[in-house]
């Protein structure tokens, strides 16, 4: 077991978080994370303080067994505290932490323990100096190594996590030494999905492994001395417990992210569309400076000031320009804040009302990262323009040859909505003024009927609001009853509700007209005259 793994094991045994241990020692949480993942070693004073905090000897902490009378005693040679002591195991208060820090620096204690630590620190130094020579910085680090084993240097583009036994596991982007699961504790939680890209030698795999998702390529090339190998192309997670080598994981606050990566980050406006990793307000990108095939990036997706998800990805042909600031969608970070001083507005095209409806509906149904406010705005755009939509033009905005499917998708959405605002009900009625015909008119009738079933009283009242077009309100009534005929089990309760409510005035006149048309049946409804009270 490495020193870092032992520190992690003892910390968890004491019930301490990395932050609590750092506070007790007077160091940052990131420093503790780097010790546990093997990136750095604690100095002598911190080793001594941890030994006393964990109530083990310095030799035990460093992995060197003791023998003789001193075995089993604390770091200062004292006996273990008796059960029932006032301070419970793992409790660390500001007073005890300060006391430990002072005692860790006592001259006598230092002289006594320096001899014991010399051999251990020397061994650890030799271990760091004799790691595998020439190891690729993008190669996967071996998992669960015991003390004395060699290990390649960790890439910045690595996830570290602890397995069930508490051993630290690592997986880096790039070519792997062996095949999935690369000597780690990763296991498929569902069957992976494989597919082939432009390179016929490679089969790509999307593998769900619980809290971690991995995309890797299995390459087979008889002409290559390696024969076959695998490359980790993307590694992502939205679960806690997986962290970058700098100690940033899901749940980390923005301040910790900026502290770890600083102004090397690029601020990016949030992603849109389907297939996003996690809902987010924005994200930060951190790229390698290598412009070659090994170029890679870490993306930190932010929600409410905390990391909501992370993705490591090889950039391939995109190189280091993939997340370079463009001052439109991506901006440099200066002093910990996005620098919008050079912001440029993107070119915009003139959008007519039919195209506006198409764009809003596409975003509303396909963009998984819309906020509640954005969803409301897209929905409002659709309803406010229903009366002027050119349905023929709308169909042509979709995929060629699928014009009817494009129109039908919007109509089905209107028909299956489960709630409407008052303004939306009115705009839906006014939509009868658009160039509906044939099956489009029939499907729109079903949407009107659905709205009537949900809100029979408000729907009827709004017939009186369209003072500029009595004919449109009359058309609404006829279309609504036509659509309602397909659902008699919903139609009759809605009509009964209108009759019992007893609307008066112009609203009452339209209620009487609606009920009269329903009573006359579809074949005769168009012959029912408008009552004088509706004018």
Asked if pLDDT for residue 372 goes beyond 80, the answer is yes
The answer to whether 154 and 173 are in contact (CB under 8 A) is no
The helix (H) or strand (E) run that includes residue 22 is helix 18-25
List, for residues 414-473, the tens digit of each pLDDT value: 999 999 999 999 999 999 999 998 899 999 999 999 999 999 999 999 999 875 678 889
The answer to whether 497 and 461 are in contact (CB under 8 A) is no
Asked if pLDDT for residue 112 goes beyond 50, the answer is no
CA distance 155 to 480: 64
pLDDT attached to residue 220: 93
Asked if pLDDT for residue 103 goes beyond 90, the answer is no
With a CB cutoff of 8 Å and minimum separation 6, the contacts of 301 are 277, 278, 280, 283, 307, 308, 309, 310, 311
Q: What percent of the chain has pLDDT over 70?
A: 81
Q: Which residue has the higher pLDDT, 174 or 146?
A: 174
pLDDT attached to residue 458: 96
Asked if pLDDT for residue 29 goes beyond 50, the answer is yes
Sign of torsion, CA 138 144 147 149? negative
CA distance 410 to 393: 13
CA distance 372 to 379: 11
| Mean local confidence (pLDDT), 234-251 | 95
pLDDT attached to residue 452: 97
CA distance 182 to 138: 14
pLDDT attached to residue 123: 39
pLDDT attached to residue 23: 82
- Of 467, 466, 482, which is closest to residue 517 (Cα–Cα)? 482
With a CB cutoff of 8 Å and minimum separation 6, the contacts of 205 are 180, 192, 193, 194, 214, 215, 216, 217, 218
| Mean local confidence (pLDDT), 173-177 | 91
Q: Which residue has the higher pLDDT, 366 or 139?
A: 366
pLDDT attached to residue 278: 95
Asked if pLDDT for residue 181 goes beyond 80, the answer is yes
DSSP secondary structure of 70-114 = TTT--TTSPPPPPTT-SSPTT---HHHHHHHHHHHT-HHHHHHHH
CA distance 471 to 478: 11
Q: Evaluate if pTM is beyond 0.85.
A: no
CA distance 306 to 143: 28
Mean pLDDT over the full length of the chain: 82
Highest mean pLDDT among 119-128, 430-439, 491-500: 491-500
Candidate from 407-421, 462-476, 501-515 with smallest mean pLDDT? 462-476
Q: How many CA within 13 A on the CB side of residue 14?
A: 23
- Of 159, 158, 161, which is closest to residue 288 (Cα–Cα)? 158
């Amino acid at each position: 077991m490495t020193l870092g793994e032992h520190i992690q094991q003892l910390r968890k045994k004491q019930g301490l978080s990395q932050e609590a241990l750092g506070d007790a020692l007077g160091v940052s949480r990131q420093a503790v994370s780097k010790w546990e993942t093997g990136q750095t070693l604690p100095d002598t004073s911190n080793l001594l303080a941890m030994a006393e905090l964990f109530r083990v000897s310095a030799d035990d902490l460093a992995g060197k067994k003791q023998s003789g009378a001193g075995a089993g005693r604390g770091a200062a040679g004292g006996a273990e505290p008796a059960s029932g002591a006032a301070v419970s195991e793992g409790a660390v208060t500001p007073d005890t932490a300060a006391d430990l820090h002072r005692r860790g620096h006592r001259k006598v204690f230092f002289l006594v323990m320096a001899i014991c630590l010399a051999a251990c620190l020397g061994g650890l130094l030799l271990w760091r100096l004799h790691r595998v020579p020439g190891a690729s910085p993008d190669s996967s680090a071996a998992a669960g190594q015991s003390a004395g084993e060699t290990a390649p240097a960790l890439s910045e583009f690595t996830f570290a996590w602890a397995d069930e036994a508490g051993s630290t596991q690592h997986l880096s982007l790039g070519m792997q030494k062996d095949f999935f699961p690369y000597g780690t504790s990763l296991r498929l939680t569902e069957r992976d999905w494989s597919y082939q890209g432009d390179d016929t030698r490679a089969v790509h795999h999307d593998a769900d492994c619980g809290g971690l998702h991995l995309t890797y390529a299995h390459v087979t090339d008889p002409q290559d001395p390696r024969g076959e190998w695998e490359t980790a192309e993307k590694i992502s997670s939205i679960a806690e417990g997986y962290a970058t080598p700098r100690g940033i994981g899901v749940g980390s606050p923005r301040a910790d992210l900026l502290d770890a990566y600083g102004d090397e980050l690029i601020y990016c406006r949030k992603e849109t569309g389907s297939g996003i990793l996690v809902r987010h307000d924005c994200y930060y990108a951190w790229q390698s400076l290598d412009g070659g095939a090994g170029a890679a990036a870490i993306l930190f997706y932010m929600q409410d000031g905390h990391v909501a998800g992370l993705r490591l990805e090889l950039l391939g042909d995109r190189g280091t320009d993939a997340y370079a600031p463009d001052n439109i969608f991506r901006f440099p970070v200066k002093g910990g804040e996005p620098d919008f001083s050079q912001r440029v507005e993107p070119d915009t095209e003139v959008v007519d009302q039919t195209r506006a409806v198409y764009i809003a509906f596409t975003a509303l149904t396909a963009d998984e990262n819309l906020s509640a406010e954005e969803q409301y705005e897209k929905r409002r755009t659709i309803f406010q323009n229903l009366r002027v939509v050119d349905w023929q033009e709308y169909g042509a905005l979709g995929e060629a040859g699928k014009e009817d499917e494009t129109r039908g998708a919007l109509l089905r959405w209107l028909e299956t909505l489960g709630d409407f605002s008052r303004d939306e009900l009115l705009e839906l009625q006014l939509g009868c003024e658009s160039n509906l015909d044939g099956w489009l008119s029939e499907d729109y009738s079903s949407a009107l009927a659905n709205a009537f079933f949900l809100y029979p009283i408000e729907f009827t009242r709004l017939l009186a609001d369209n003072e500029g077009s009595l004919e449109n309100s009359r058309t609404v009534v006829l279309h609504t009853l036509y659509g309602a005929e397909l659902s008699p089990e919903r139609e009759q309760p809605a009509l009964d509700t209108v009759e019992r409510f007893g609307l008066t005035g112009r609203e009452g006149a339209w209620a009487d007209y609606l009920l009269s048309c329903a009573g006359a049946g579809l074949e005769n409804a168009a012959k029912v005259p408008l009552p004088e009270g509706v004018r």
